Amino acid sequence: MATGFFWDEKTFWHAGGNYAMTLPLGGLVQPLAAGGLPESPETKRRFKNLIDVTGLSAELDMRSAAPASREELLRIHPAAYLDQFKATSDTGGGELGHHAPFASGGYEIATLSAGLATQAVRDVLRGDLTNAYSLSRPPGHHCEPDKPMGFCLLANIAIAVEAALAEGRAKRIVILDWDVHHGNGSQACFYDRDDVLTISLHQEGNYPLDSGHLAERGAGAGEGFNLNLPLPAGLGHEGYLHAIDHVVIPQITAFAPDLIIVACGYDCAAPDPLASMQAMAATFRAMTERMKATAEDVCDGKLVVVHEGGYSEVYVPFCGHAVLEAMSESSVHAPDPLERNLKARQPNARMLAFQKQLIDDMATELGI
């Protein structure tokens, strides 16, 4: 068995609107030469190109998938939202939420993006693949059931989780979100549920602004099954691994899931234009190695990684390559061209005392 890699060229054809970074064009905001949203297809296409050029993709099981079905979408999204999204997509595209524009045909591409994640989960749970990566685009972790946000139009991972539960392939699932922004969509989908543990590591107060607080622990039956770690800007390699080792892994192990899904955003990397963290490709490799080992300990190695954010066109491919190297235990490497530079310039590759204290204080407050 191999590591699966789910992708489809059509997802690279999703187009956003007229933005520069996240600023609408107009006034003194000059259009970018490349145009469009920072959620550009180039980060993903260059990632796919890199694994082809190094030869890593030849070791993976490369697959596409069918779009998520209406029945699958309806487990998360209200019919009214899906109908409005489809109708707008059929008539030239538009914007139905906050920073989540789409062009004509955006609905079909979004259902394909969700379908890639759903099939990746299905194929891992049925034992057809060792583990799997879904290069989903548009991303999903900000999308709430009736509210698209932050470049996310459908809740890809939540849709995949519901399919796995409905098909009887799993009873308990962990979603670990290390995208630098809060995984508010996954949180909203499962906030009152005890069969899905949602964990989000994110830069405090980045996006959404008033979201992802430590005190948001779940409601009703879901009390205690939602975990937010709002992290200080500037956190780097050692700090992320400290949070993973001392907070995340004990929580996952205690929950004893049948599957671990990682909402894998690369925007906590140092060069990212939409955040202020200092992770490196080596950080993503190390975090993935830890999740692989944890999955082997608790759920027979069942691990699915779903692509979320990450806006450095140059650097995301190297971080993604490192994740895939760890998942597949490949010896095909893509040396990080920035690592020496980042380590030399940015002392936050080391963990500073106040950063450790903040994480340890949060763990104490959470009773970990």
- The mark string for 280-309 relative to Zn ion (x by CB under 5 A, - otherwise) is -----------------------------x
Encoding tokens for residue 191?
């906030």
270 vs 349: CA distance, rounded Å: 10
- In Å, what is the CA distance from 1 to each residue of 12, 60, 132, 313? 28, 9, 11, 31
Question: Per the structure block, which two tokens stand in for 59?
Answer: 């070791």
Under the binding rule (CB under 5 A), the answer on residue 272 touching Zn ion is: no
Encoded one letter per residue, x for contact with Zn ion by CB under 5 A and - for no contact, window 247-266 reads ------------------x-
- In the complex, the smallest distance separating the C-beta of residue 325 from Zn ion, rounded to whole angstroms, is 22
CB of 43 to Zn ion, least distance (A): 12
Site string for Zn ion, 177-206 (x = CB under 5 A): --x-x-------------------------
77 is catalytic: no
Q: How far is CA 6 from CA 29, 69, 73, 76, 122, in A?
A: 36, 17, 19, 22, 12
40 vs 54 by CB, closer to Zn ion = 40
In whole angstroms, give the CA distance from residue 175 to residue 226. Answer: 10
Q: Is 16 in the site for Zn ion (CB under 5 A)?
A: no
**Which residue of the set 142, 237, 307, 321 is catalytic?**
142
Regarding 267 and contact with Zn ion (CB under 5 A), the answer is yes
Residue 345 CA from chain centroid, whole number: 27
Q: Which is nearer to Zn ion, 234 or 301 (CB)?
A: 234
Close Cβ partners of 194 (under 8 Å, ≥ 6 residues apart): 218, 221, 222, 224, 225
Token pair for 194: 């005890």
Shortest distance, CB of residue 31 to Zn ion, whole angstroms?
Answer: 23
Cα–Cα distance measured from residue 75 to residue 166, given in angstroms and rounded to the nearest whole number: 9
Residues near Zn ion (CB under 5 A):
179, 181, 265, 267, 309
Catalytic residues: 142
